[in-house]
């Protein structure tokens, strides 16, 4: 899915959260949003997912304006991963994964799809576990399976490693990158962590609601080796 924010401004009574932001994300691309707290990262994610609307400017999906009429379908085609996993404590891992598709008419077997997604995040064995019986990293994996259950083409992640230690966080980022490739998703990820940001194809830096840098991440040396690339 191609995504573009065109001259997007989002204002609150006391401040301008985004100020004329232009951002184009290519199909299958992963873009990290970085910048200080309050710089507008989450606001971009909410606008990209159709959970919020710009005051000026527009959001385009595959070159088409995201109009009010298209919002519901767009939200259904978008997966969201949060810093605090937001699992329902009384539900098993599998039922948490299925929660987004329970109220919807779907053309697949829900349990089968839920188990497939738990397997994709390496937790098929823990389908019956309650969130309280899982580690932080495992809870985030369940939350990722839940985000993927509707097979979104766009994955939005807001500080997905913010509540995890660095080793567990690294595992979550690697998993997100692998799943993005496997399920051919476009991805926007907000993070304060430079190492997490460097896992993406591009790093966009925000400050006071404006984009102040937009850099392509150099491929890792081992990736260059695999491609037979030059390394000094």
Q: Verify binding: residue 213, ligand ATP, rule CB under 6 A.
A: no
Q: Are 130 and 146 in contact (CB under 8 A)?
A: no
Range in contact with ligand ATP (rule: CB under 6 A) among 32-40, 87-95, 97-105, 223-231 = 32-40
Please report how many Cα atoms fall inside a 13 Å half-sphere around the Cα of residue 80, on the Cβ side.
19
Q: Verify binding: residue 31, ligand ATP, rule CB under 6 A.
A: no
- Residue 95 or 158: which CB sits closer to ligand ATP? 158
Question: What is the total count of residues that contact ligand ATP (CB under 6 A)?
Answer: 12
Q: Verify binding: residue 41, ligand ATP, rule CB under 6 A.
A: yes
- Residue 12 or 230: which CB sits closer to ligand ATP? 12
Binding ligand ATP by CB under 6 A: which of 1, 4, 25, 42?
42
Q: Verify binding: residue 191, ligand ATP, rule CB under 6 A.
A: no
Residue among 71, 67, 57 at smallest CA distance from 22: 57
Q: Verify binding: residue 39, ligand ATP, rule CB under 6 A.
A: yes
Q: How far apart are CA 197 and CA 122, in angstroms?
A: 23
Dihedral pair phi/psi, residue 193, rounded to 5°: -95, 120
Q: Verify binding: residue 34, ligand ATP, rule CB under 6 A.
A: no
- Residue 148 or 190: which CB sits closer to ligand ATP? 190
Residue among 143, 137, 170, 138 at smallest CA distance from 157: 143
Range in contact with ligand ATP (rule: CB under 6 A) among 11-19, 97-105, 115-123, 132-140 = 11-19
3-class DSSP state of 213: strand
Q: C-beta of 18: minimal distance to ligand ATP in Å?
A: 8
Range in contact with ligand ATP (rule: CB under 6 A) among 38-46, 109-117, 143-151, 166-174 = 38-46
Dihedral pair phi/psi, residue 156, rounded to 5°: -115, 130
Q: Verify binding: residue 137, ligand ATP, rule CB under 6 A.
A: no
Q: How far apart are CA 63 and CA 78, in angstroms?
A: 17
Contacts of ligand ATP in 43-72 (CB under 6 A): 43
DSSP string, 135-172: -HHHHHHHHHHHHHTT--SEEEEESTTTTS-HHHHHHH
Q: Are 191 and 197 in contact (CB under 8 A)?
A: yes
Binding site for ligand ATP (CB under 6 A): 12, 15, 17, 35, 37-43, 190
């Amino acid at each position: 899915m191609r995504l573009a924010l065109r001259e997007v401004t989002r204002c609150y009574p006391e401040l301008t959260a985004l100020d004329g932001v232009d951002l184009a994300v290519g199909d299958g691309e992963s873009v990290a949003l970085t910048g200080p707290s309050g710089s507008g990262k989450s606001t971009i994610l909410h606008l990209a997912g159709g959970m919020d609307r710009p005051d000026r400017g527009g959001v385009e999906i595959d070159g088409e304006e995201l109009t009010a009429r298209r919002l519901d379908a767009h939200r259904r085609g978008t997966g969201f991963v949060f810093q605090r996993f937001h699992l329902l404590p009384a539900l098993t891992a599998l039922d948490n994964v299925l929660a987004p598709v329970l109220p919807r008419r779907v053309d697949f077997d829900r349990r089968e799809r839920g188990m497939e997604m738990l397997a994709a995040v390496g937790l098929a064995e823990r389908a019956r576990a309650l969130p309280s019986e899982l580690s932080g990293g495992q809870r985030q994996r369940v939350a990722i399976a839940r985000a993927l259950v509707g097979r979104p083409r766009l994955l939005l992640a807001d500080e997905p490693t913010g509540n995890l230690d660095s080793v567990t966080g690294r595992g979550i980022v690697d998993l997100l990158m692998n799943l993005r490739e496997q399920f051919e998703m476009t991805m926007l990820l907000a993070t304060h962590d430079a190492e997490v940001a460097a896992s993406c194809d591009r790093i966009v830096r925000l400050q006071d609601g404006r984009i102040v840098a937009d850099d392509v991440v150099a491929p890792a040396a081992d990736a260059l080796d695999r491609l037979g690339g030059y390394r000094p």
